[in-house]
Amino acid sequence: MTIGSRQTVIPITELEQSAFCRTDGNLRTLTLEEEFQAGVRWQKVPIRYLKMTPEEVDAGIASARETLGDQVLLLGHHYQREDVFRYADLSGDSYKLSRLASERKDAEYIVFCGVHFMAETADILSGPEQTVILPNMAAGCSMADMAQTEDVEDAWEDLTSVLGGQDEIVPITYMNSTADIKALCGRNGGIVCTSSNADLTFDWAFERSKRVLFLPDQHLGRNTALAMGIPEDEIIVWNPYAPMGGHTPEVLRRSRVILWQGHCSVHTRFTPKQIQESRDKYPEVNVVVHPECTRETVDVADYVGSTEYIVKMVSEAPAGSVWGIGTEINLVNRLASENPDKTVFCLDPIVCPCATMYRIHPAYLLWVLDGLMAGLVINPIKVPEKTAADGRVALQRMLDVAG
Ligand code: SF4
């Protein structure tokens, strides 16, 4: 059992999160050398990619894609910058992309333009003959980094020592977590969820157990639990840096939902004040936010839902409608340009892209495609077989529950 408290560690990805925030609204792609000035960690690339103009990179990617043909399947997450997203064969949220990739067994290489945990999930779900590639290994996720394997293993040991086994507590992890955490859930009777099926996985867990440990996003967990009618005083937050998560055994025994102390630095930027300001400006506005936003923000929004839900809501809305959106800026900008007959804007007046997603600069994409043309696999993502097998168990449970 782990007894002592640890020193609080803030992931580097979290410290770097505001590196690309701008007040001028300009997210134009620059040369990699210029973008390196943002001062975050970037993976080293051969020097020639640093100075290439966006036009040269563009021409290189188009030519490489033509040469490589169907051998390569390029996946683009909704939060990718436009200059990468437009090359995607398939687009979607993390789960949709991994599932689609697993159905495309003809593609030898899957280039995942997203972040590290997504590429891991694609590797777990893809065939043994397929190779998943992440263009920039520095593209992590600050939320996933808030649930380090050792901390979660210690917490699980502490919780089960106080509460008992699987009929007392079941772990649920959000898709936005490392393969190690998904595997821990698979080994311990747990399940994976997405932002669109978290409630179904809570139901599944409560059929088997008295309580859940929800990882790593406290906001998605809290918003889901409250919407299901679980009383507030039965929901607690586990602080990985305090002994027993900061709770007495009695409090743990009284709880029904134990939330890991993690969050998304992009979605926690949205506030009730921004929503009020959008309503002052556009009285007819429809406000839709992602469930990774805080409870206070979710409480005053008109609609709450996953990335795919937000895309569907706005795309199917009548012409002339007004949408204030609380999610990543690249997606909001894309929705605005794809729906010129509607008014679509981001609730946050400061343009703050997800700093890890943003590290998939087109020059990194060109680098890995050039590698494939030369017979080199750059940045393969390979989850160890035992971890992948356990993670697959937790993912399969989710598929059985939510399809
Ligand atoms: S938007 Fe948030 S949860 Fe998604 S990749 Fe970025 S930091 Fe992670």
Q: Within a domain: residue 16? A: no
More reliable by pLDDT, 254 or 1:
254
One domain, residues 218 and 278:
no
Report how far apart, in Å, the C-alpha atoms of 337 and of each of 87, 314, 315, 333, 349 are: 17, 12, 11, 6, 17
The pick from 142, 175, 290 for probing ligand 1's pocket by mutation, whose C-beta has the most ligand atoms within 8 angstroms, reads: 142
Q: Which of 93-107, 139-153, 225-239, 385-399 has the lowest mean pLDDT?
A: 93-107
Looking at ligand 1, which residue's alpha carbon is closest to its atom 6? 354
Over range 255-274, report the average pLDDT: 97
Which one of 263, 285, 305 terminates a domain? 263
pLDDT score for 61: 97
DSSP element (H, E) containing 215: strand 211-215
Ligand 1 centroid to 221 CA: how many Å? 16
Residues 244 and 151 in one domain: yes
259 with 277, same domain: the answer is no
Q: Is residue 12 part of a domain?
A: no
- Both 149 and 254 in a single domain? yes
Ligand 1 within 6 A of 357 CB? Answer: yes
Does 212 lie in the same domain as 280? no
Flag whether 9 is in a domain: no
Looking at the CA of residue 144, tell me the nearest atom of ligand 1. Answer: 8
Instruction: Out of 218, 246, 263, pick the residue that ends a domain.
Output: 263
pLDDT, one tens digit per residue, over 66-99 is 999 999 999 999 999 999 999 999 999 887 887 7
- 153 part of a folded domain: yes
* pLDDT digits 0-9 by tens, 316-352: 999 999 999 999 999 999 999 999 999 999 999 998 9
- Do 234 and 152 belong together in one domain? yes
Residue 339 lies in a domain: yes
* Cβ of 141 less than 6 Å from ligand 1: yes
Q: What is the pLDDT of residue 9?
A: 82
What's the whole-number mean pLDDT along residues 240-261? 97
Q: C-alpha distances in angstroms, 204 versus 18, 170, 200, 211?
A: 37, 10, 6, 11
Q: How far apart are CA 137 and CA 151, in angstroms?
A: 23
pLDDT of residue 95: 79
Q: Please, what is the average pLDDT of the chain?
A: 94
pTM: 0.95
Q: What's the 268 CA to ligand 1 centre distance in angstroms?
A: 10
Tell me if 403 is assigned to some domain: no
CATH (domain of 257): 3.40.50
Least confident of 54-58, 179-183, 348-352: 348-352
Within a domain: residue 234? yes
Number of structural domains found in the chain: 3
Residues 226 and 303 in one domain: no
Bridge-partner residues for 51, per DSSP?
Answer: none
Residue whose CA lies nearest to ligand 1 atom number 2: 264
Looking at the structure, do residues 365 and 298 belong to the same domain, yes or no? no
Q: Is the pLDDT of residue 24 over 80?
A: no
pLDDT at 4: 57
Distance CA 356, CA 363 (A): 15
Are residues 318 and 288 part of one domain? yes
Domain carrying residue 222: 144-263
Which of 8-17, 134-143, 193-202, 371-380 has the weakest average pLDDT?
8-17
By C-alpha distance, which of 70, 4, 40, 10 is closest to 353? 40
Write the CATH number for 278: 3.40.50.10800
> Does 308 share its domain with 232?
no
State whether 253 and 148 are in the same domain.
yes
118 lines ligand 1 (CB under 6 A): no
Q: Which residue minimizes the CA distance to atom 3 of ligand 1?
A: 264
Residue 118 counted as domain residue: yes
Q: Which atom of ligand 1 is nearest to the CA of 115?
A: 5
Residues 33 and 129 in one domain: yes
Domain end among 237, 263, 289: 263
Determine phi and psi for 401, rounding to 5 degrees.
-80, -45
Q: How far apart are CA 310 and CA 30, in angstroms?
A: 29
Ligand 1 centre from 144 Cα, in Å?
A: 8
